[in-house]
Structure 1
Amino acid sequence: MPDTSPLILIVDDVPANIQVLAEALRGEYRVKVATNGATALAIANASESRPDLILLDVMMPEMDGYEVCHKLKSTPSTQNIPVIFVTAKGDVIDEERGLQAGAVDYIIKPFHLAIVKARVSNHISLKIKTDMLETLALIDGLTGVPNRRRLDEALNNEWKRGMREQQSLAIIMSDIDFFKAYNDHYGHGAGDQCLKAVAKALFNTLNRPSDMMARYGGEEFIAVLPHTDLQGAMQMAERWRQSIEELQIPHECSAVAHHVTISLGCAAMIPSNNLTPQMLLKQADQMLYRAKKNGRNRVGSSLT
């Protein structure tokens, strides 16, 4: 199994300093090293393996530690990585500058390894707890799928990526048919169980790591599908529709079937400066309305 222990990036232009810190930390953590600021920033921005903590020297050629820290803290993807300065600059004014730059701690050389390890452990523990809280803030408490906040983040990120790559981005918007009648007849406890089952089925239907779904609110669920045109979105939406039919959840108060069904709307566009993610959402919502108007338990799009 891959090593999932916290990753620490050590940045120092003196190899001996790196070796001492790396040997002390490798037993408990994964360690990467950099001997200059540019390399450190490149490692920190690598989305597949960002550091959980950075030990950063101040005095380095070309780009000193203060500048590296400033760049880290001004970049959204790296601003939450805790930085500890490890430096020979021991004046109070230097320490103040380091903390004002965004560092969480300041260790003065020569250091005691036991103290460094204790401080690293404390900040790693805090980082793990912070990450857990952030993750929980992006998850719908009832269904366990991403929530509206996470959807907004993903849609904005994929919109920017689609604009850079000039690739189509698609949205599927779905709504459980006659869900209010379901709640009124079976009770809100049963309604909650229905929502959980629907969310699980929709989530399990997605087959690409880049695809994501979220609870949009109430009984509405949305999928964001990068690199997908309208035809591809319609195919996925039909799989969504079928996956809910296959659950065969009884719904005596539905006007379209004796079991729970969903209606869906699809939209796709190539992002540009003349368009917005909100326009894509609005178009998908209009197609969902079309599906409902045409009888429900179906997929609506500009092609149908």
Structure 2
Amino acid sequence: MQSKFPEMEPRILEQWQGITNLVAKLCRVPAALIMRQNDDTMEVVSGSEHPDSPYQVNEKAPLNGDLYCETVIKTQKLLHVPNALKDPVWDHNPDIELGMISYCGVPVNWPDGTPFGTLCILDRVEKHSTDEEKDLLNQFARIIELTLELLVSNRRFENLSLQDGLTGIANRRLFDVVLKREWAQSHRLKLPLSPLMCDIDFFKNYNDSLGHVQGDECLKQVAEALSAVSKRELDLCARYGGEEFAILLPNTEPKQAFELAEQCRRAVAGLQIPHPSSAVCDVVTISIGVCTMTDSGDVSETALIRAADQALYRAKQGGRNRVEICPTVS
């Protein structure tokens, strides 16, 4: 549901500030607001900078059925209240306590149709909004929705650029970004950090004998199996390139890292994917290199991956379908 995602960027909030200031000026009211619906509150995302407006950005009001904006979101229609003091429906409306007795608002939605919130104007005196003012609100609401559409599209593009197109897991680019971040945090907090480098045994032979379509299907299944093992909140499983996968295990000691690597190895072998051209087994297997930066470590992230790669090389030299762990690095 997009109503909780993504967060507003500063440049968007700056643009919306201009919208609320302009709407307030054109409609001759002290308060023009862009409101956002959260789980159980309505939040002021942007508000006109007018001395007579009682609203503050980030201010929240509980959703209790008494808010003007709740009605707009529920009905998905424009709501016009010239004077709330004359309608008992609004007796418990908190805006009246702030002296804001007139309201006109329109819905604002995410691209998928779920409610984002409202664009509205409020005044301290009775106000009969004109048709032109109502049209103005609708037009600016559409501009806000176009901004939301662009925001979602950009975020989707960012996600795609960090995702492996074949397997759907993280790609090398995202792995490198997360590695840099986790390395810095592990170094600062003196916590262990363990990368696993995994390689499908004799994958070139697999492709040559069964074809690239089968090869792609094999990669997908292996990615799924590895992801199922590395499922802790901070673990990251990525396709590192070709038939190689990398798994990052923050705050993981060498013994636990080795155990997780063994689980990965067994999970892939357990897929029972036939591999007629393997020299070690009749099903697809993987070799894994493990390395851990200790809590006192001062090794670079590049050296850490290089050490795990060297352990992977030893695993392949030692017969494949095995886990090799290098000494902890510091």
Do they fold alike, i.e. is TM over 0.5? yes
Corresponding position of 1:224? 248
Q: Deviations over 1:104-142 (max 9, x none)?
A: xxxxx9995434422221111100000011111111111
Q: Structure 1 residues 7 and 188, CA, compared in 2 at 3 Å: closer, same or farther? A: closer
Q: Which runs of 5+ in 1 are unaligned?
A: 34-53, 61-108
User: C-alpha deviations, 1:71-121, integer Å up to 9, x for none?
Assistant: xxxxxxxxxxxxxxxxxxxxxxxxxxxxxxxxxxxxxx9995434422221
Q: Separation in 2 of the partners of 1:174 and 1:124?
A: 40
The residue matched to 2:284 in structure 1 has which SS?
Answer: coil
List per-residue Cα deviations over 1:192-223 (Å, max 9, x = no partner). Answer: 11111111111111231110110000000000
Find the aligned partners of 1:56 and 1:212 in 2 and give their Cα distance.
40
Number of the residue aligned with 2:316 = 292
In structure 2, the partner of 1:279 is 303
Structure 1 runs of 4+ off > 2 angstroms? Answer: 1-12, 16-20, 29-33, 54-60, 109-119, 270-275
> Following the alignment from structure 2 to structure 1, what is the Cα–Cα distance between the partners of residues 184 and 47?
31
Distance in 2, matches of 1:58 and 1:280, equals 52
CA RMSD of aligned residues (A): 3.6
Quick one: structure 1 residues 286 and 32, their matched pair in 2 at CA, closer, same or farther if it must change by over 3 Å? farther
Matches within 5 A, 1:142-221: 142-221=166-245
Distance apart, 1:273 and its partner CA: 8.9
CA distance in 2, matches of 1:268, 1:59: 57
Cα distance in 2, alignment partners of residues 147 and 287 from structure 1: 22
Q: Deviations over 1:23-55 (max 9, x none)?
A: 5x549x98544xxxxxxxxxxxxxxxxxxxx64
Q: TM-score, normalization: structure 2?
A: 0.62
Name the residue aligned to 1:254. Answer: 278
Find the partner of 2:33 among 1, 17, 21.
Answer: 21
TM-superposed CA distance for 1:187, in Å, is 1.1
Distance 2:319 2:50 in 1: 69
Quick check: which has more Rg, 1 or 2?
Answer: 2
Task: State the match for 1:133 in structure 2.
Answer: 157
Cα distance, 1:2–1:250 mapped onto 2, change above 3 Å: same
CA contact (8 A) 2:198 2:286 kept: yes
Change (3 A) 1:7 1:174: closer
Contact 2:192 2:251 in 1 (8 A): yes
2:146 alignment counterpart? 122
Q: CA deviation at 1:237?
A: 0.4
- How far has the Cα of 1:158 moved from its partner? 0.8
Confirm or deny: 8 A CA contact 1:160 1:271 kept in the other structure. no
- TM-score between both structures, scaled by the size of structure 1: 0.67
CA contact (8 A) 1:203 1:213 kept: yes
The whole-number CA distance in structure 1 between the counterparts of 2:315 and 2:186 is 27
- 8 Å contact kept, 1:170–1:226: yes
The aligned counterpart of 1:4 is: 4
Distance change in 2, residues 1:186/1:8 (3 Å): closer
CA distance in 1, matches of 2:304, 2:200: 21
Give the conservation status (yes or no) of the 8 Å contact 1:8–1:31.
no
In 1, are the aligned partners of 2:289 and 2:325 still within 8 Å (CA)? yes
CA distance in structure 1 between the partners assigned to 2:30 and 2:234 by the alignment: 36
Distance change >3 Å, CA 5–CA 150, structure 1 → 2: closer
Residue segments in structure 2 that go unaligned for 5+ positions in a row? 18-23, 52-120, 123-132
Which whole-Å CA distance do the structure 2 matches of 1:116 and 1:30 have between them? 23
Residue correspondences, number: 232
Q: What SS does the aligned partner of 2:308 have?
A: helix
Aligned-pair CA distance for 1:303: 5.6
Give the Cα separation in 2 of the matches to 1:224 and 1:31. 39
% same residue: 40
Q: Distance in 1 between matches of 2:262 and 2:283?
A: 17
